[in-house]
Amino acid sequence: MTETRDIPRRLILAIGGNAIHPSGIAGTSEEQVQIAADTAKALLPLLALDNELVITHGNGPGVGKVLMRQALASGAVAPMSLDICVANTQGVTAYLLVQAFENALRLADNQRHVVGLVTQVEVDPEDPGFKNPTKPVGYFYPQDKARELSETLGWTMKEDAGRGYRMVVASPEPKHICDISLVEALAQRGNVVIAGGGGGVPVVRGDHGVRKGVEAVIDKDLTTAHMAKVLGFEEIMILTAVSKVAINFGTPDQRELGEITVSEARKHHQEGHFPAGSMGPKIEAAIRFIEGGGKRVVIGHLNEALPALQGQTGTHIIPD
């Protein structure tokens, strides 16, 4: 892929939870601040543009850590429900990114503002995802440790794409992003808007519009695609820890994908190339977005955001 593409005037960008909380770190405050600063440095070419820019982010590693802290401290501190855990990690991550993004902009003599919104996302209380937990959160564990956690804490543990076992929780689909008009208004005024973190705080709506939280974690890529559709954005960028999507991943026949049609993406997905715990949700979100009228989804490495957006790298999924 060598053709240089124009940078879209309106863009929604999703940052993977493992990209902003990579494996192998202890997760100290100092590490989190540094990772946020590195993320800001990588995204500065996009942050500094005169554009409408909305950013979502994952929280799988973070919410898993909160659940582990609660389990370890259960004898002394009352645990929080899962929706509050999501809100907790959403707020912390937004704080770190807002500060890091604005610091990077100020050092570049750019006065653009960044705002983080605690975002509720409505789900269907009858969603089948509540009965079949699939969303991996937290750390990777070997099989014997996973069995121990399952027996002692009651966690549902599943193997995750050959990388170990992780806790899985209910993951209903997003139906309505609360206060989406506020996201739109802030973006149109030139602010970088961080919203829908961790897929949004999962809530259900009852009589008279009364909402309450539910025990779940919504997939952030599906929320991103839904948000882009509602806002009328034509392009999505999903940033992760790899430069391109690959089929036959981890085998001698591994092949990276450049530009593919949505039909090709669906075919590869149906053939089982994209595990549910890693690339699967990103491809599913891309397919839904393109089939719903979107023009392009770019999946690429966090540190290659601008060249991927320009078409120099990354996997680009387009209409047939």
Domain holding 234, by residue range, is 10-120+175-318
Q: Does any domain span residue 232?
A: yes
- What DSSP state is assigned to residue 104? H
Q: Does any domain span residue 141?
A: no
Q: Specify the CATH number for the domain of residue 78.
A: 3.40.1160.10
Rounded to an integer, the average pLDDT of 82-109 is 95
What is this structure's pTM?
A: 0.90
Q: Does any domain span residue 277?
A: yes
Q: Which of 59, 116, 129, 135 is catalytic?
A: 135
- pLDDT tens, position by position, 254-282: 999 999 999 999 999 999 999 876 799 99
Q: Which of 220, 244, 277, 314 is catalytic?
A: 220
Of the candidate ranges 6-10, 113-117, 124-128, the one whose mean pLDDT is the lowest? 6-10
Rounded to an integer, the average pLDDT of 58-79 is 82
Q: Does any domain span residue 66?
A: yes
pLDDT of 27 > 80? The answer is no
Q: Does any domain span residue 57?
A: yes
A 10 A CB-CB count for 304 gives: 17
Rounded to an integer, the average pLDDT of 238-262 is 94
Q: How many domains does the chain have?
A: 1
pLDDT score for 233: 96
Is 135 tagged catalytic?
Answer: yes
Is 59 tagged catalytic?
Answer: no
Is 145 tagged catalytic?
Answer: no
Q: Which of 65, 199, 277, 282 is catalytic?
A: 282
pLDDT of 161 > 70? The answer is no
* Rg from Cα positions in the chain: 19
136 forms beta bridges with 168
Q: Does any domain span residue 153?
A: no
**220: Cβ–Cβ under 8 A, 6 or more apart, which residues?**
14, 16, 17, 56, 57, 58, 59, 196, 197, 198, 199
Q: Does any domain span residue 24?
A: yes
Q: Which two tokens stand for residue 167?
A: 């806790």
Q: Which of 16, 17, 138, 300 is catalytic?
A: 17
